[in-house]
Amino acid sequence: MRAHTLPATLAFLCMAWLPAVAVAQTAPTGYIPTLEAVTVSGEQPGPGLWRARRDGHTLLILGSLVPLPGKMTWKTGEIDDALAHSGALIMPPHVEIKPNTGFFGRLALLPSLIGVRKAPDGATLKETVPPDVYARWLAVKARYIGNDRGVERYRPIFAVLELYKSAVKKAGLGKSGDITRSVADLARKHGVRQVPVEYTLLVDDPRAAIKSFKHSTLDDVSCFTQSVDNIDAQLADMTRRANAWATGDIAALRDERSAKQRITCMNAVTEGGVAQRIGLADVPKAVRERWLAAVNATLATDAQAVAIVSIDDLLGKDGYLEALRSRGYTVESPDEAD
């Protein structure tokens, strides 16, 4: 995250790790399930491509996922062939939160960003969360993070992010950036133009927003509690979905439990006063509209195009696939095509 984006913390929370940091139901206290082994490795087919058709034009969509099996090699034959017969590659939506000010104004913000992850008034996690929750936190922290005292002064939601980053790495899972890079490389090989989908949220008074954020309280104790109590179950679920992506198991990817994981922690960030004031809660809808506009503009000139979109954004009643259907597209999933 570049230093001049504001607040870097809020953008990171909403666009990076939050899809994996909360579940809707809390597991019984003391429940520690056996983690599913990450057995998927070597060359794997991936999930196949969704097809959206309208007026003789076709959009082929690859659903991306975070995290994925770390030792997997993705078979690119299908996407390579799709790009060979396409005029454009619509890239994954990219969001930035920037101060509505010039270069020197951005430099002046840098001191304000220092310590933004820390709890207000120097409070520690022990002082912020209930004693029984803190005791359970120490147990999972020892298992996944180790003896890191710095995280003890983080806001609960930032402590959860550190927990999950460490746990995902230990589970043998990795980021999906290589998938997007591989597709972009194939597009260049075939001379296919890349269509960016970018949305920038400009903050008019970034210094005041940072100051307000530093001294505000987030409703993130519930997020922290659910995440601590469900870390093992969630890792097992992420592993299952990662394996499903790698092997092309579309039914497993449709499991709605993963969509419910966002709610508690996302609300803790977007429903706060600072987030509401800068318009952060409106970003997902605005990004979806920006993506749909890019699809319409691209298919107006190209008979076929390829797009990369997060699986979690594609599926569900408010997902991109339903939005395409509502605009007259006929949508076919990879398993229907098979």
Q: Which of 48, 273, 306, 275 is nearest to 193 (CA)?
A: 306
pLDDT digits (tens, 9 = 90+) for 73-91: 888 999 999 999 999 999 9
- Mean pLDDT over all residues of the chain? 77
Per-residue pLDDT tens over the stretch 178-197: 788 999 999 999 999 999 99
The stretch 285-296 carries a mean pLDDT of 94
* Distance from chain centroid for Cα 269: 14
pLDDT above 80 for 12: no
Distance CA 91, CA 306 (A): 9
> What's the rounded Cα separation, in Å, for the pair 253 and 243?
10
Rounded to two decimals, the pTM is 0.78
Q: Which residues contact 147 (CB under 8 A, 6 or more apart)?
A: none
Instruction: Tally helices (H) and strands (E) across the chain.
Output: 17, 12
Residue 10 pLDDT level (bands cut at 50, 70, 90): very low
Phi, psi at 154, each rounded to 5°: -80, 155
Give the gyration radius of the chain's Cα atoms: 21
H-run or E-run covering 94:
strand 94-99
pLDDT of residue 315: 87
Tell me the torsion sign for CA atoms 75, 195, 310, 65. Answer: positive
DSSP letter string over 166-208?
HHHHHTTEE-SHHHHHHHHHHHHHTTPEEE--EEEEEESSHHH
59 and 51 in contact (C-beta within 8 Å)? Answer: yes
Query: In sequence order, what are the beta bridge partners of 15?
Result: none
Amino acid at 270: T
Q: What angle do CA 127, 213, 169 make, to 5 degrees?
A: 70
